[in-house]
Copies of this chain bind each other. A is one copy, B any other.
Amino acid sequence: MTSETSTSGSSGAPDAVLAPLEAVTRRVGHGNLAERLNALRSWLADDLGELERAIQATTDIGETLTEDAEYGELAVKTARYLLARPGKRIRPIVVTLGARLGGRGLDREVRDLATACELVHNATLLHDDVIDEGTERRGAPTARVVFGNSASVLAGDHLLIHALQLVEGVGYRRLLSSMLETIGEMVTAEAVQLEQRGRLNPDRDVYLRVAQGKTAGLFRWGFVAGATAAGLDGDTLATLGRCGNALGIAFQLMDDVLDVTGDPAVTGKDVLADLREGKLTWPFILASEVDSGLLPLMRDSLLAIERDPGGGHTPGELALRILERVRATNAVAETRAFAAAQAELAVKALRTLPDSVSRRALEAVIESAVSRTA
């Protein structure tokens, strides 16, 4: 289970957002639709381009390492390796749209908050891949495979500190303390997950704690951060926080769906690797609640691979057998439904706010998160 799967193209993010945006705008059915849609499209595309430049700039050696240009590049180089791979950049988009909701454009401060949100996400990916011994991420070998575990730990530390410096520099004290709190919750969630290692414990409560801490918290922060910078009031911030939270859970559930239904070459994931780590995603939890033979099958499969890695069944065959059992239940459809319900919660929360282009763009982002295929 991870809060991110790979994207298939180098500019996947804009289209992933813009296609459902079109659908939503069509459904809402405003008068001069074509015009509005074009405005939205160029607006989001411009924002995305600017955010991407800002994100990449954080690992420009010249910028971040002026005094140590010759030495100590390893942490930055390792971080850049991950950041340079295309991600969905949904977190910085959310920060930007939160600011626009309050009438504030993508200025320096908003850009810094948006960048910080993406950097924290990437920092945790770098540490998580060390902890989970992850081998693939965003369709390429993980940073730890290329640069080693040590460099990945340092790269994560580097991004974390850089993100906090960005938030500190912007100067909203509440945003800095909530960012620290959010990161603290991410660490606790990762610890909860680590404690589950070696068990196959289909526990809904554990799953939801982990999803809340590892994924939803940072989405919540992102929604609130942009809106705080735009000076929106406390009630609106609370509404956006709930919205971000629900979107985060939906996002995580959809990751789980894609892990079970997607082509492993596309999602870049290994079902058995998750099981080996003791990570039971939502579809696995639901499936094992109705198919009492599933857990024993998973345990036996893991044991078989452990005892005789080369013999009998290949790991791929074993994974396929397990996946077939999961797919034979209603678990995937129910997980999709749960994700859709969370997305609906998020949209409902949003719709208590005044209608605006930004609000509709945020609705589109939420739609895209639960209709995505990568």
Contacts and interface: CB of A to CB of B under 8 A. Distances in A.
Interface of A: 65, 68, 71-76, 127, 130-131, 149-151, 153-154, 157-158, 160-162, 164-165, 168-169, 173, 176-177, 180-181, 183-184, 187-192, 194-195, 206, 209, 213
B184 A158 contact: yes
24 contacts: A68-B188, A68-B192, A68-B209, A71-B188, A71-B191, A71-B209, A72-B188, A73-B195, A127-B153, A127-B157, A130-B149, A130-B150, A130-B153, A154-B191, A154-B194, A157-B160, A158-B188, A162-B184, A164-B180, A165-B181, A165-B184, A168-B173, A168-B176, A168-B180
Nearest to A209: B71
B161 A191 contact: no
Contact of A195 (B71, B181, B184, B187): B71
A72 B191 contact: yes
Given A75-B191, A130-B149, A154-B191, 12 more contacts: A68-B192, A71-B188, A71-B191, A72-B188, A72-B209, A72-B213, A75-B187, A76-B191, A131-B154, A151-B191, A157-B187, A164-B180
A213 B188 CA distance: 28
Contacts of A206: 71
Contact of A187 (B131, B158, B168, B191): B158
Secondary structure of the A contact surface, majority rule: helix
Contacts of A191: 71-76, 151, 154, 158
A188 B65 contact: yes
A150 B68 CA distance: 29
B165 A177 contact: yes
A216 to B, nearest CB: 14
A243 to B, nearest CB: 22
Contacts of A149: 130-131, 149
Query: How many copies of this chain are found per oligomer?
Result: 2
Contacts of A177: 165, 168-169
Nearest to A72: B188
A145 B344 CA distance: 46
A191 B110 CA distance: 30
A129 to B, nearest CB: 11
Nearest 3 interchain pairs by C-beta: A72-B188, A131-B150, A75-B191
Contacts of A160: 157, 160
Nearest to A183: B161
